[in-house]
C-alpha cells in the first residue's frame, strides 16, 4: 500500500474510532450522569432509565460498539486490500 492510501486508511480508522468514542461518552457520561435525573422519570423494569444507563446501559452500548467497530474495520480492510482473509 502506498503512503497516500495508508494515510487515507489511517484517517478513516481514526474517524471511526472517534465517532464510536463520542457515542460511548454520550451514553455513559451524558445519559448515565448528566441526564440521569430527567431520564429516571422513564421506568424500565422497575428502575429509572437514568439508573439503568449508569449501571448497565453503557456497558451494553460498549459491547455493541465493539461489534460495530469489528464490522466496519473488516469493511475498511477489504476496501484497502489489507484484510486477513
3-class secondary structure, 77: helix
Say how far apart CA 76 and CA 68 lie, in whole Å: 12
- Contact yes or no for 82/9 (Cβ under 8 A): yes
54-62: average pLDDT:
87
- pLDDT (0 to 100) of residue 49: 86
In the prediction, which pLDDT does 29 show? 87
User: Given pLDDT bands bounded at 50, 70 and 90, which one contains residue 23?
Assistant: very high
Regarding predicted confidence, which is higher, 36 or 17?
A: 17
Amino acid at each position: 500500500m502506498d503512503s497516500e492510501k495508508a494515510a487515507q486508511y489511517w484517517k478513516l480508522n481514526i474517524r471511526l474510532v472517534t465517532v464510536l468514542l463520542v457515542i460511548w461518552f454520550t451514553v455513559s457520561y451524558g445519559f448515565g450522569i448528566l441526564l440521569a435525573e430527567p431520564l429516571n422519570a422513564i421506568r424500565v423494569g422497575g428502575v429509572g432509565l437514568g439508573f439503568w444507563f449508569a449501571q448497565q446501559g453503557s456497558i451494553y452500548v460498549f459491547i455493541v460498539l465493539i461489534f460495530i467497530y469489528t464490522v466496519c474495520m473488516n469493511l475498511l480492510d477489504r476496501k484497502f486490500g489489507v484484510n486477513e482473509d
